Amino acid sequence: MLAAPQVSAFLPPRRILMGPGPSDVYPEVLAAQARPTVGHLDPLFVGMMDEVKSLLQYAFQTANPMTVALSAPGSAGMEACFVNLVEPGEKVIVCRNGVFGERMRQNVVRLGAVPVLVDSPWGQPVDPDAVESALKANPDARFLAFVHAETSTGALSDAKTLCALAKRHGCLSIVDAVTSLGGVELRVDEWGVDAVYSGSQKCLSCVPGLSPLSFSPAAVDKLQARQSPVPSWFLDQTLVMAYWGGGKRSYHHTAPVNALYALHESLRQLAGEGLEAAWQRHRDMHLILRDGLEKLGLKFVVDAAARLPQLNAVYIPEGIDDAAARNRLLQEYNLEIGGGLGDLAGKAWRIGLMGYGARRENVALCLKALESVLK
Ligand code: PLP
């Protein structure tokens, strides 16, 4: 018999999370998560789930009945879009301007489908002209997939224009809104988004581990017209809807009950503030941060026109040791900012202003702390 390990309770410090996510969690959300666990088919819990659904519909600005929170992180939301909608041999136009566009490509390849890549340099938004050329050159394409807010670079793409292009060319749009939901304008129905997913840990300021997902009626039709079964049991939305679809709920998997209390509370906070007010707050905090970063001599990776307010990527100044500087921020200020990812690893810092983290005191602390480590 193995001896029982002797370990103490894990008591994490209260960090200020200003990286690419997870973001600072609302105190009300942490409190909600600590409430007593009930059964996931308990009528009271089921009633709360109905509220989660309507709160998600508000956050996405959609009336889509197929709007759920997957019991898994944002990557599962991405995978759910591809495994449910894309069949082997189908062509998918994939826009790649950072890490997550490349992850979309990998999903397409694993399904035996055919990716057609539209590449843009890191730090730039997806180019609608290049997308239009790809759509014209590939009239047999069935999908256009892109990342709305590319967290690896801080670039915001024009989702409204891209979804309109997809529609004009008979494609369904698959949109990654992991970092955009709650932080910048996103109007799923008005813009004609067909499949969209997000993550709980960014601008929703919830605990990590859940992925809001919504399919338009056209996407649901595509799912229902599949020639082959969805190749993932867990992510098959026709099965998941037995639980989320309203009416009589039946067991699919054991829902992460307390995490869903947390999501309910974070979405309630967003609805209480109002979506447009939340978008504006992110913008306001970004402008204050931007002025301070520029005073410190830091240069942004992304041009002002396509800059995400909630993810500020700046080049690390010459002569500064990336890991040492970030370690000092953590040790001396309890402050986490993100390092670079992919092509920007070791070259840029990513400063998040997401959800509850997009506050004046966070901006002030971050600027003060950076000033001291850059001296
Ligand atoms: N897409 C984007 C744009 C992201 O920023 C992330 C995570 O950072 C993901 C997808 C994957 O989400 P998760 O890490 O929750 O699986």
pLDDT digits (tens, 9 = 90+) for 272-295: 999 999 999 999 999 999 999 999
Edge-to-edge strands, sheet with 311-315:
16-18, 335-339, 348-352, 311-315
Question: Does the Cβ of 197 fall within 6 Å of ligand 1?
Answer: no
Per-residue pLDDT, averaged over 331-351, amounts to 96
pLDDT band at 299 (very low <50, low <70, confident <90, very high): very high
Q: Give the largest CA-CA distance in the chain.
A: 66
Residue 45 has pLDDT above 70, yes or no: yes
Query: Which atom of ligand 1 lies nearest, measured to the CA of 73?
Result: 15
Looking at residue 232, its pLDDT comes to 97
Which of 86, 87, 43, 76 shows the shortest CA–CA distance to 240?
76
Dihedral sign from CA coordinates of 187, 55, 338, 77: negative
pLDDT digits 0-9 by tens, 141-152? 999 999 999 999
Residue 76: strand, helix, or coil: helix
Report the relative pairing of strands 195-197 and 172-176 from DSSP bridges: parallel
Contact of 148 with 70, CB cutoff 8 Å = no
Supply the DSSP string of 343-373, one letter for each residue. Answer: GGTTTEEEEE--GGG-SHHHHHHHHHHHHHH
Looking at residue 295, its pLDDT comes to 98
CA of 137 to the centre of ligand 1 (A): 30
Per-residue pLDDT, averaged over 180-193, amounts to 98
CA distance 238 to 227: 14
Looking at residue 246, its pLDDT comes to 64
Question: Does the Cβ of 125 fall within 6 Å of ligand 1?
Answer: no
CA of 178 to the centre of ligand 1 (A): 6
Give the pTM. 0.98
pLDDT band at 81 (very low <50, low <70, confident <90, very high): very high
Question: Does the Cβ of 354 fall within 6 Å of ligand 1?
Answer: no
Residue 250 has pLDDT above 90, yes or no: no
Higher pLDDT, 247 or 46: 46
Tokens found for residue 60: 């996405």
Place of tokens 């939340």: 278
CA of 4 to the centre of ligand 1 (A): 36
Query: Which atom of ligand 1 lies nearest, measured to the CA of 150?
Result: 3
CA of 99 to the centre of ligand 1 (A): 9
CA of 133 to the centre of ligand 1 (A): 28
Looking at residue 260, its pLDDT comes to 98
